[in-house]
A and B are shown apart, each in its own frame.
Chain A
Amino acid sequence: MDETQTQPRIRNFSIIAHIDHGKSTLADRLLEQTQTVSRRQMVDQVLDSMDLEREKGITIKARAVRMAYEAKDGERYELNLIDTPGHVDFSYEVSRSLAACEGALLVVDAAQGIEAQTMANVYLALEHDLAIVAVINKIDLPNAEPERVAAEVGQFIGLLDDEVIFASAKEGRGITEILEAVVAKVPAPTGRREAPTRALIFDSHYDAYKGVIAYVKVVDGAIGRNDRIRLIGTGKEVDLLEVGFFGPDMQQVPELTAGEVGYLATGLKAVKDCQVGDTVTLAARPAAAALPGYRPAKPMVFAGLYPTEANAFPLLRDALERLKLNDASLTYEPESSLALGFGFRCGFLGLLHMEIIQERLEREYDIDLLATAPSVEYEVVLRGDKTIKVDNPAELPSPGEIEEIREPWMAINVIVPSRYIGAVMELVTGKRGVYDELVYLDEERVQLKFDMPLGELIVDFYDQLKSRTQGYASLDYSFAELRPADLVKLDVLVNGAPVDALSLISHRDDAYYKGRELVQALRALIPRQMFDVPVQASIGSRIIARETIRAMRKNVLAKCYGGDVSRKRKLLEKQKEGKARMKIVGNVEIPQEAFMAVLSLGGGDKAVAAKD
């Protein structure tokens, strides 16, 4: 091995934490302590740079920051902190970030203990052979139980005493101990400097001037600023514009060598050409094999996005195109709905991802959107043995043409205090879930494992789980397999006309009650019109439920005199604007919430109570 290489003094690590357990604050303290960012320059929580992330308290895009640290052994270390997204929608991204590390800080709230999602990520980290240092954070809280939480953590992953650190990131306690533990416990990377270059892409973003910026960990070899690289997965070749690291601003270096973490400015036009998990090698001396674990981004949840105003369609297309530059997992294809006109069928990693995209379209691109209820992708075997994929319920072929429908099932993992076992089981079985395993984590908490159709999971499951366990449950899930199911298409007719965007695919046994609840919810959500509006649910040509929205009888300003005119005019203008945001289907005005009504089914009378 080359004596001049820096590898022995590199430490690559990430932070695994549940939302709100203090990851961002801890990261801030590490950056301060190593003087990567001075306290004065410190914008709180440097790592979460998107507004939306801050608002939702989650980290969407991973970041990698290099810190210089002079340890107590007198040596100077290069510490790379690789941030990971904190939501289950982004678990593949998490796995790639972990694959770029040799160690992880497991941050656990001293009052709340460990959560399902955190455990899932811990297992991921263990699969990648990462050294784990536990940080019991927020010990300053009055209800903190550091010893109990430490014991719990130790029990799951068998840590030694010096692998557990008590800290309060908020008060700056334990930060030096954490940095020392990273140096002592996290192994140095072990790549070969002379081997053909292989670098793992663990994140990327699109930059208007430099094209796609790939975040990489160089596993073997080196990458210089003048190199021509090849992406083994996509086969793309490109001349690099620059290489560097984040400190936390982009800082150029002549090259990145084995063990180092940094960025490559590729000049590529879209992140889909440079996907997370892909392997970078040099065109001149390519590596024989890619690094393991690459999986092209695959959306799991689908929904139609329609502009409320038809002329905003090109605007929406441009906006999706631009978001796609930065988001390999977002897919979109034009589709048209009889009810909603022209729009796009979009694919997302999960509901949160969908919500984020929707909000960004509305906020950053100022497009008023109407989203249909999310659906999953079904595999439909037609008579004559042809198989098609259907992600839009309206496009499900008629029953006569179908041999079999297969739907995606997920492996679900819930951690919850044991007193809620019954509530969770009831919820899960009500959603066609199949119980698999129950493990007692300690005297109070259990881990429940079961399988459930994704189609049920995306309909209100998480909210229900939270409310039935008073917020104590935490959830993790991953794709298991496709399974055949007895499914039917449920159509909705408003004022006698089918509204394709309200169709849904349901298990046959649930279709009746879903139809009934759906029309009840719609009756509450669709405002009264100037005439009676029947709302019906049907399977094929058979009507299974019906409600009538009674005609509005009175909507008139009681009084309007000299001092009222402007105010009353504005009131009517506002009413008119509200109407403009609704979709007119047939001659009935349908608000956005109606298209999402299906999400609240099974929530009892919640949807109905919302309006009455």
Chain B
Amino acid sequence: MSIMPTIALPSASPAVPAPASLDAPLGIYLHVPFCAHVCPYCDFNTYAGQGGLIPRYVDALEREIARQGGALGGRDAATIFFGGGTPSLLSPSDIGRLVRACRGAFAVAADAEVTLEANPNGVDPAYFAGLLEAGVNRVSLGVQTQQRRGLRVLGRQHEATDAAAAFRAARDAGFANLSLDLIFGWPGQTPDGWVADLDTVLGWPGSAGGPDGPEHLSLYSLIVEPGTPMADAVARGILAVPDDDATADLYEAAIARMADAGYVHYEVANWAREPGLASRHNLGYWRNGDYLGLGAGAHGHLAGTSPALPGARRMQHLLPATWVAAVERGDDPTSNTEAIPPATAIGETMLLGLRLLRQGVAADAFLARHGIALDALYGATIAELAAKGLVERTPGGGVRLTSRGLLLANDVCAEFLDPALPETAVLLPGTERTLAVDVGSLA
């Protein structure tokens, strides 16, 4: 308890609007596709029993970071995120090597957010101290639930006490930016048990001098993804998941409880103690920004910058062994490239940006990014949805969801997909700005 925090909180960045500008710094995502055990609800790209591959995998990641850094000319990067899988299966020294590799290949800001996802089991104070040493300054802990029944239904390998101990260990090591993942809507969950989970974690120790509780919480409604063992169990009637009405109740209970505790509900499933503690890496996704995805099955996204260079999303080889082999051969480990034409990119800006509940999509950022005014494209759609009470205008002429719209976000977002672009508009920046402004001023 006497250990002092060794790092400061990332400085509260001024509200960066969505969508991101084309010159915004990159996010770097590093995928760790290994788990000691694969949970029955999980449809992520992860594998159990391949831990022997980890040394080669880390080497390959290091090599791929260098290769991509070279290709992108050492672009600015603001965040590094170790996701999985279970990144906490990697040793602090491996994590340190990879962070250094990123700093060597890209212009990573001094105060960059460096996040690592960790499972509550197999981590101790020494591990967290090592992470800090390695340059990690934010840990996201997969708590999921503190109910024993929930942990078993979700196939988690830890106990409630493990999660509390892991959290305390991270705090004691000096982490001042901790996030927790919790899941609601699992088979057999009660509303009381759910609120009790929230009460429990909100009572965990804060950082030195700060209020109790984690700096950040992600609360996910369980989705039974097709092809998972859980989907099979549900199809066979072994498990029954709560219906939409019941999960809506749980979601609303969480919204109320978190507001009560003073957290900012800044994204559909995400709460921060204060705006500056929002996940900066994930904000990059919701702002439809650029990011690299490195590792097996990782996705990267680079927006289009000219008519000749439309945006693209690239996925790397799914299987860890295939991915490692490709990198070791010196090949580009990309397996799929999906072109993102302007209309799709604009739809994604809306689909993602509307998830940002406070800031929404900003009008000026939209125009700057897509070369057309928000209202020229969506004025009528916004007015129609606003009349139904699903969206509202933000002060700068942007748009965001109302609390009613939040619960029906899919229906709202769908209205913005695949917009019909005016034929004459050239929808990329640096060209024909005048036209876009003219159209905008008419709206």
Contacts and interface: CB of A to CB of B under 8 A. Distances in A.
Contacts of B291: 562
A43 interface: no
A552 B247 CA distance: 12
B356 to A, nearest CB: 11
A78 to B, nearest CB: 59
B244 interface: yes
A562 B301 contact: yes
Interface stretch (B153-161, B162-170, B217-225): B217-225
A569 interface: yes
B220 A558 contact: yes
Given A552-B408, A556-B268, A572-B414, A565 B348 contact: yes
B293, B352, B390: residue with the most chain A Cβ atoms closer than 10 Å: B352
Interface string B292-306: 010001111100000
Given A562-B291, A569-B348, A556 B338 contact: no
B251 interface: yes
A560 B293 contact: no
Interface in B17-70: 27, 29, 45
B189 interface: no
B220 A556 contact: no
Given A559-B220, A562-B301, A572 B413 contact: yes
Contacts of A579: 414
A573 B416 CA distance: 10
A560 B417 contact: no
A565 B352 contact: yes
Interface in B358-390: 388, 390
Nearest to B413: A572
Nearest to A563: B299
A553 B244 contact: yes
A40 interface: no
Interface in A535-552: 550, 552
B173 interface: no
A563 B411 CA distance: 21
Contacts of B313: 565-566
A207 B414 CA distance: 46
Contacts of A566: 299, 313, 338
B423 interface: no
B437 interface: no
Contacts of A530: 388, 390, 408, 411
Contacts of B411: 530, 552, 555
B293 A555 contact: no
Contacts of B347: 569
B285 A572 contact: no
Nearest to A531: B388
A209 interface: no
B409 A555 contact: yes
B418 interface: yes
B245 interface: yes
B321 interface: no
B409 A556 contact: yes
A557 interface: yes
Interface in B380-428: 388, 390, 406-411, 413-414, 417-418
A572 B410 contact: yes
B355 interface: yes
Contacts of A568: 351
Interface residues of B, number: 46
B244 A561 contact: no
A186 B173 CA distance: 100
Given A530-B408, A569-B344, A569-B347, A554 B413 contact: no
B299 A562 contact: yes
A550 B338 CA distance: 39
Interface string B240-252: 0000110110010
B202 interface: no
Contacts of B355: 560
Contact of A554 (B285, B298, B351, B407): B407
Contacts of A560: 268, 285-286, 351-352, 355
A529 B335 CA distance: 40
B130 to A, nearest CB: 26
Contacts of A554: 221, 244-245, 247-248, 251, 407-408
Nearest to B344: A569
A459 B406 CA distance: 43
A285 B299 CA distance: 82
A576 interface: yes
A575 interface: yes
B408 A569 contact: no
B407 A555 contact: yes
B121 interface: no
Interface in A142-189: none
B222 A558 contact: yes
Nearest to A575: B414
Interface string A352-393: 000000000000000000000000000000000000000000
Contacts of A563: 29, 45, 293, 297-299
Pick the most buried of A550, A554, A561: most chain B CB atoms within 10 A of its CB. A554
Contact of B245 (A553, A559, A565, A575): A553
Contact of A576 (B45, B352, B390, B417): B417
A579 B409 CA distance: 15
B327 to A, nearest CB: 19
Contacts of A550: 245
Contacts of B297: 563
Contacts of A557: 268, 409-410
Nearest to B315: A563
B269 interface: yes
A563 B81 CA distance: 13
Interface in A569-585: 569, 572-573, 575-576, 579
A530 B388 CA distance: 9
B407 A558 contact: no
Contacts of A555: 244, 407-411
A565 B301 contact: yes
A552 B222 CA distance: 18
Contacts of A556: 221, 268, 406-410
A31 B56 CA distance: 67
B282 interface: yes
Contact of B221 (A552, A558, A573): A558
A483 to B, nearest CB: 48
A316 B222 CA distance: 44
B187 to A, nearest CB: 16
Nearest to B44: A563
Contact of B282 (A553, A561, A573): A561
A566 to B, nearest CB: 6
Contacts of B220: 558-559
Given A557-B410, A563-B299, A576-B417, 8 more contacts: A554-B407, A555-B407, A555-B408, A556-B406, A556-B409, A559-B220, A559-B268, A562-B291
23 contacts: A552-B408, A553-B407, A554-B221, A555-B408, A555-B410, A555-B411, A556-B221, A556-B268, A556-B407, A559-B223, A562-B299, A562-B301, A563-B293, A563-B297, A565-B285, A565-B351, A566-B338, A569-B344, A569-B347, A569-B351, A572-B410, A572-B417, A573-B414
Interface of A: 530, 550, 552-563, 565-566, 568-569, 572-573, 575-576, 579
Interface of B: 27, 29, 45, 218, 220-223, 244-245, 247-248, 251, 268-269, 282, 284-286, 291, 293, 297-301, 313, 338, 344, 347-348, 351-352, 355, 388, 390, 406-411, 413-414, 417-418
Q: Sort A-B residue pairs by CB-CB distance and give the 5 closest, nearest first.
A: A554-B248, A556-B409, A553-B248, A558-B221, A563-B299
